[in-house]
Amino acid sequence: MPFNQVPVLEVDGKQLAQSFAIVRYLARQFGYAGKSAWEEAIVDMIGDQFKDYLVEVSPVLRVVLGFDEGDADTLLKEKFFPARDKFMTYMTKILKSNKSGYLVGDSLTWPDLYLAEGAELAKKIPTLYDGFPELKAHSEKIRSIPELKKSKLPKRQESNDFNTAQLWKAMGSMSYFFFL
């Protein structure tokens, strides 16, 4: 393991660590990183902003998700919701300016998957989307993609063909690794 921590992706006997490096590698390999150099840069920009947001809210989420002890209500009010408002305002602006229903370009990218994963968090924080109906609709749109719905099946896919459902699983898992 390169840094003695998970996650680690192994490809052809070589190991790649760090969740966002893995996500970016997989997204480029399977067409979820943008269709041009400019789109790839915008995808990376959004991904970096998402990572900054996760760093800011991860102490709160660790309490809300039961990994740490603390006053969840106070942390949500004082830390989480201000960070959420800032981040979701940025994402709403990007989503509205693109007009395709996706964050970047006219097709699914990995930040769409990360943003849609917020629906899982909304199960723990029901007011997550309050004031952000466009992002709630975006999440519902992304999560309604048939290949992604398949990824919720408990049976592991044995195919060597990496597809959208497998990318969704990998990214969703890595977003939770971030909090551990």
As for how many domains the chain has, the answer is: 1
Q: Looking at the domain assignment, is residue 57 inside a domain?
A: yes
Evaluate whether 113 touches 168 at the Cβ level (below 8 Å): yes
Choice between 66 and 45, residue whose per-residue pLDDT is larger: 45
Residues 6+ apart with CB under 8 A from 134: 92, 95, 96
Q: In which domain, by residue range, is 154 found?
A: 35-177
Q: Looking at the domain assignment, is residue 2 inside a domain?
A: no
Q: Could you tell me the CATH number of the domain that includes residue 101? A: 1.20.1050.10
Mean pLDDT of the chain: 85
Name the residue with tokens 């998970």: 6
**What value does the CA radius of gyration of the chain take, rounded to a whole number of Å?**
16
Question: Could you tell me what percentage of the chain is helix, strand and coil, using 3-state DSSP and rounding each to the nearest 5?
Answer: 60, 5, 35
What's the confidence (pLDDT) of residue 80?
A: 95
Residues 6+ apart with CB under 8 A from 8: 1, 2, 15, 16, 17, 22
The answer to whether residue 74 scores a pLDDT higher than 70 is yes
The pTM of the full predicted model, rounded to 2 decimals, is 0.79
Q: Looking at the domain assignment, is residue 132 inside a domain?
A: yes
Q: Looking at the domain assignment, is residue 124 inside a domain?
A: yes
Q: Looking at the domain assignment, is residue 27 inside a domain?
A: no
Q: Looking at the domain assignment, is residue 40 inside a domain?
A: yes
Q: Looking at the domain assignment, is residue 42 inside a domain?
A: yes
Q: Looking at the domain assignment, is residue 1 inside a domain?
A: no
The answer to whether residue 65 scores a pLDDT higher than 90 is no
At position 171, the amino acid (one-letter code) is M
